[in-house]
Structure 1
Amino acid sequence: MAVMGSRTHSRDFPDTVAVEKRMASSSTAAAATETTTERRGIPGAQFVEDVETYLNQSGLDVNSALSFLQERLQQYKLVEMKLLAQQRDLQAKIPDIEKCLDVVAALQAKKGTGEPLIADFEVSEGIYSRARIEDAESVCLWLGANVMLEYSCEEANDLLQKNLDNAKASLEVLVADLLFLRDQVTITQVTIARVYNWDVHQKRRMREAVTAEKDS
């Protein structure tokens, strides 16, 4: 029996449910005008072409609209931080699973040959112990939460391969989520700039109108 040190439990990385609910609950009259589709709970940002129409339809003044957009931008940033943390977790997990699969394959290759497998086990950080493994019939896998279970080499290989496939699929989804999210951040930043510039332009026009009226 061989003990495999990396934790190889199967776990789907959850969506950032709490954050997504926050984003959904923050919807105001401005959000009600959005027709952009969402992705896995991440609301799509509305690109505002006509600021005046946007404000009229949303029922917001400039300050309220900017406040809403700034809040939405911060929520996007929070979701991005959580997704990046999940991405780093997966990127660290995948090589560990691949190493475990290599070990199981090596054990299976040695089985029945009469040739032992010499392996160095990490006892603690930076400390290793050499082991001689002969005809291993099973391996022990960490399942997380200080739980270890014994599997046959065939069962361990199947479980590890399933975990690897799930991790790679989850990583692909996360990458797509991040690309979508960054697009929404850019759209929101552009919209904030457009609303702000429109407000500046409107105030300038009002000042010019007042000045012209006084001069006349």
Structure 2
Amino acid sequence: MADILKPKNTNPRGIPEAPFIDKVENVIKNPDKDFESVMQMFQERLQQYKYMELSKQQQLKDLNIKIPDIEKNLDIINYIKEKKEEEEEDDEDEDEEGDGKVIETNYELNDTLYTKASIDVENLNSVYLWLGAEVMLEYPLDEAVELLNERLVKNNEQLTIIKEDLEFLKENITTMEVNTARLYNWDVERRKKLRPTS
């Protein structure tokens, strides 16, 4: 009986595949003794799947915030690099004012608050990046782009994996809900047949 939920297959992350009960009689040999424990095992597995699903949904939500942030940061740094390269090409026109040495921009302080900044492109050679856990480090522009591109690739790979896991969990939750419903209905029918007829 303990082998009922032993997975025959798992997904690449080791999440067990739910068995499908074709015939309840094949699973419960002794109804009076086994039904409650089998039902409890199936309900526990269903709850485990639902807990994993919640965890994966939170990871998905976090990635859906991180990925656009990384893309925004990459866009900004690439724009600065572009302006810097243009500035180096136009170095002969040093006497002209407002020839692209300074970028006037708005930037986000938090979700609802923006402020203005003047960026001296000519003297800007590095940026500061938040690495998480309240850590910020300074990186040269090229290294910052390289780091952000690596993170973007990893996060997109993780996003694909989480979406696969969520699809797998959704299918297995459905299977376990069907299984528990079948077990319950089978037991109701069994009990009706056991009732004495008057």
1:95 maps to which residue?
68
SS at match of 2:28: helix
SS at match of 1:149: strand
Determine if the alignment matches structure 1 residue 78 to structure 2 residue 51. Answer: yes
- Partners of 1:111 and 1:69 in 2: how far apart? 62
2:121 maps to which residue?
134
2:95 maps to which residue?
none
Task: Compute the displacement of 1:44 (Å).
Answer: 1.1
Residue 133 of structure 2 is aligned with which of 115, 140, 145? 145
SS at match of 2:118: strand
Kindly report which structure 2 residues correspond to 1:4-19, keeping only aligned pairs within 5 A, or say none.
Answer: none
Q: Which has the higher contact order (CA 8 A, sep 6+)?
A: 1
TM-score, normalised relative to structure 1 = 0.76
Larger radius of gyration: 2
Task: Compute the displacement of 1:128 (Å).
Answer: 1.2
2:191 maps to which residue?
203
- Partners of 2:11 and 2:121 in 1: how far apart? 55
SS at match of 2:107: strand
- Consecutive unaligned residues of structure 1, counting only runs of 5 or more, are 1-26
Task: Compute the displacement of 1:41 (Å).
Answer: 2.6
SS at match of 1:56: coil
1:3 maps to which residue?
none
- Partners of 1:73 and 1:199 in 2: how far apart? 19
1:185 maps to which residue?
173
- Partners of 2:104 and 2:70 in 1: how far apart? 20
Determine if the alignment matches structure 1 residue 175 to structure 2 residue 163. Answer: yes
Change (3 A) 1:123 1:86: closer
Change (3 A) 1:56 1:38: farther
1:31 maps to which residue?
5
- Consecutive unaligned residues of structure 2, counting only runs of 5 or more, are 88-99
TM-score, normalised relative to structure 2 = 0.82
2:77 maps to which residue?
104
